[in-house]
Amino acid sequence: MSEVKKAGFGTLPVFLTAISTILGAVMFLRFGFSVGSVGFIGTVAIVVIGHLVTIPTAMALAEIATNQKVEGGGEYFIISRSFGINIGAAIGVALFMSQAVSVAFYIIAFAEAFTALEPWINSMGYIMPNMRFFSVPALILLILLMVTKGADLGMKMLYIVVAILGVSLVLFFMGGNATPEFTSNGGLFTQYAAKGGFFAVFAIIFPAFTGMTAGVGLSGDLKNPSQSIPRGTLFATLAGMVIYIFMAYKLYTSASMSDLEGDQLIMQKIALWGPIIPIGLAAATISSAIGSFMVAPRTLQALAGDKIFPGRRMNYWFAKGVGDANEPRNGTIVTAAIALVFVLMGDVNAVAEVISMFFMVTYGSLCLISFLQHFSGDPSYRPTFRSRWYISLLGALLCIFLMFKINTVYAIAAILLMVAIYFGIGLYLKGNKGMAQIFQGVAFQFVRRLQVFLQKSDKDQSAKSWRPSVVGLSQDTFAHDDAFDLMRWISNKYGFGTYIHYHKGYFSKETMELARQSKMDIMTNTQKKQSSVFIDTLVSPSNTNAIVQVLQQPSVSGHDHNMLLLEFKQGNNEWLQEIVENYNLIKTAQHDVAVLSISPKGFGKQKEIHVWIKREDVQNANMMILMAYIISAHKEWRKSEIKIFAAFDEEHMQSEKEKLIELTQSGRLPISAMNITVIEIKEDTNIKELISEKSEDAGLTIIGFHESRMKSMGTEVFKGFDRLGNTLFMNTLDVKDIK
């Protein structure tokens, strides 16, 4: 395939395209209305607020353009390559429609220039024809020129119309008062209340500032986009701002407020040579139309190049270019058709506000990209021009604010339309779903800083503010989900969990690859469970080494792990023996210990959680009750009940029951006094039989164990509960407070 030859434009076309769009129809037809409505200071405020959006956007564009190769599609290319194709396409479609309808807006405004001929036409005895008499032929002529000659002729025309525009501005500033009787409007701070308020006028004037990104659409035709885009865009933005402020002052000092507000061609009466203003208006509007006509087809061509439209033929037809410069002739035809429809409608005032909404979304997206890149920590982001994060953030927030201030209904409609486009595109671009790396980079940096902050902070992590930060180790992940399910219940709301799948073997390329694949498989298998558990894998030649490594594993929560969860399957004495033999290592790491006994019954119907408290397990009691409460908070356990069984000798039965009732009530735990049962223990009572009898149908049974019992009884501590479902044995380092 032959390489597409660029037109080879430099910085000047970017500047001219932008400045000719900035100094357009609104400047000639509506800027006097602004001064007459809100006064000089109010108009300057509109200019400043508008440029608090456009300048950060121009700086963001300059920053992004000097970091990456900007190809055809301008703003769409930048957004899609930063946010991903789906989001970029949703914004890009809206952007294309805005650019296409803008052609119609400028052509209709072009026809307004002929209102200056109305007195002459009336004097000849004729009636002023409908504006479509001028706008439709002008659009058809422009379409023919753009389809046959393309961007090259467009640029040549821009030089001519910008020259006319410049002359009209010079003659305007050289002019005098609009009427001989006018003297002064008084102090500069004199202001008039506009109908509909300040932001109603702002909504009319703001489209004048939106042309500053017009030159970016030429990115595919520029010799050096990373240099031409920032220079041309910034120069045009700043030049436009200065001109508008001086224009506001000239209008304020040259005409009365009533004339400014009521006469849309008041500039004609002020200029040194009046006819230059309609000529300048015609030049400005036709140049803006040319600029939009050059940019819109290239946006459509770039969208089709990314295959965002349904149907291979549609994408091919839209993306097809003509000639060495890959001129988007088909895109020009589509743009022309859309423009013609709106020109025939004749009035696009309401549509113009919607256009402003989409431009605001585009500008806000560009500012957001710049803001996020400052915090993403991406080493490949090395722009030669740097904006400031707070400037970009200001631009993004102002875009959202102004959208709703201008027109809340249109703002909501614009957002809903773009959301619909996003999900619509997602139906057939399934491989491109999700955010781009920029969000991942920001998330990584945020998590890293948060973890460092939590580590450095001197917060109380003692038993008084206890919450489980559990690290779990399992060899049987693919055999059953019991341990993982327990981890996700603990980590759902109150706790934190890191689940580690253990591969026994020597560390090698093969075992490492096996571990990585297992991690991906676990994440895929558990995706539907919507867990908050961090998943990892571990390769180690021995069980003891694996436990030691896990005990030293850093927590992703920012808090150190405070509990180790191990599991064994009933009847599997080998792994149970490993747990007992390595118990001292676990205590050395100062971790609480939880051992899950996996039963063929599993967690049953998950209707009840039973907590068993024996006299030797009083130290464990609070942690066991808290663990039951934390697990029951998960939606899969919300219909369950927590029942506490306390096994004590007759002497302590009543006092222990009162303590438990007081504990659950003062601790605001959802455990009814009816669900607290104290059972008398005699010398001949078989506690394991008692627990098995009472908790046979429980979804989960929590039992405490003591270090001294483990040392004397070994694995027998965990045996003898075959009639139960899954059982969680727990031992704590210190008493947890229930506040």
Residue 440 lies in a domain: no
In contact, 432 and 86? CB cutoff 8 Å: yes
List, as one string, the DSSP characters of 224-249.
-HHHHHHHHHHHHHHHHHHHHHHHHH
Q: Is 408 found in the same domain as 308?
A: yes
Q: Dig out the tokens for 49 from the structure.
A: 């607020």
Residue 373 has pLDDT above 60, yes or no: yes
The CATH number for 694's domain is 3.40.50.12370
Within-domain flag for 495: yes
Q: What percent of the chain has pLDDT over 90?
A: 19
Average pLDDT over residues 14-23: 79
Q: Residue for token digits 């069984």? A: 645
**467 in the same domain as 320:** no
Check whether 303 has a pLDDT greater than 80: yes
Q: Which structural domain range is residue 131 located in?
A: 11-432
CA dihedral 613, 614, 615, 621 (to 10 degrees): -20
Does 281 or 439 have the greater pLDDT score?
281
202 against 8, higher pLDDT: 202
Number of domains comprising the chain:
2
At residue 572 the predicted structure's pLDDT band, cuts being 50, 70 and 90, is confident
Going by pLDDT thresholds of 50, 70 and 90, the confidence category of residue 293 is confident
* b (16+ CB within 10 A) / e for 436-445: bebeebbeeb
State yes or no: pLDDT of 452 exceeds 60.
yes
Judge if 423 and 547 occupy the same domain.
Answer: no
Full-model pTM: 0.64
Considering the domain architecture, whether residues 401 and 494 belong to the same structural domain is answered as no
Over the stretch 168-189, which tens digit does the pLDDT of each residue have?
A: 999 999 998 888 777 777 655 5
List the one residue out of 297, 119, 113, 126 whose CA is nearest residue 218.
297
Residue 270 and residue 384 in one domain: yes
316-347, pLDDT tens digit by residue? 888 887 777 677 878 888 888 888 887 876 55
CA distance 101 to 26: 16
Burial 504-534 (b: 16+ CB within 10 A, else e): eeeeeeebeeebeebeeebeeebeeeebebb
Q: DSSP states of 480-532 as a string?
A: --HHHHHHHHHHTTT-EEEEEEEEES---HHHHHHHHHHHHHHHHHTGGGT--
Question: Residues 112-147: pLDDT tens digits?
Answer: 777 666 665 565 655 556 666 676 777 777 777 766
Give percent of the chain above pLDDT 70: 81
CA distance 681 to 701: 19
Domain boundary among 412, 432, 452: 432
Q: Which residues make beta-bridge pairs with 677?
A: 645
426 and 467 together in one domain: no
Q: Within a domain: residue 2?
A: no
Distance CA 106, CA 24 (A): 8
Q: Tell me the two tokens of residue 299.
A: 């946006």
Q: Where residue 49 falls among pLDDT bands split at 50, 70, 90?
A: very high
Alpha carbon of 515 to those of 478, 522, 567: distances in Å? Answer: 13, 10, 20
Q: Is residue 330 part of a domain?
A: yes
> Between 326 and 682, where is the model more confident?
682
- Does residue 309 lie in a domain region? yes
Residues 212 and 145 in one domain: yes
At residue 307, the pLDDT reads 84
Q: What angle do CA 164, 144, 336 make, to 5 degrees?
A: 95
Structural domain includes residue 458: no
User: Please, which pLDDT band fits residue 71 given cuts at 50, 70 and 90?
Assistant: low
Cα–Cα distance measured from residue 439 to residue 441, given in angstroms and rounded to the nearest whole number:
5
Residue 739 inside a domain? The answer is no
Same domain, 529 and 406: no
Does a structural domain hold residue 281? Answer: yes
Q: What is the pLDDT of residue 595?
A: 94
Return the CATH number at 316: 1.20.1740.10
Rounded CA separation 370/65 (Å): 11
pLDDT at 445: 66
From 31-35, 41-45, 64-68, 415-419, the region with the lowest mean pLDDT: 64-68
Considering the domain architecture, whether residues 388 and 468 belong to the same structural domain is answered as no
Mean predicted confidence (pLDDT) in 96-118: 77
Residues 218 and 365 in one domain: yes
Task: Please identify which residue in the block is written with the tokens 């549509």.
Answer: 351
Shared domain for 478 and 365, answered yes or no, is: no
Average pLDDT, the chain: 80
Whether residues 416 and 487 fall in one domain: no
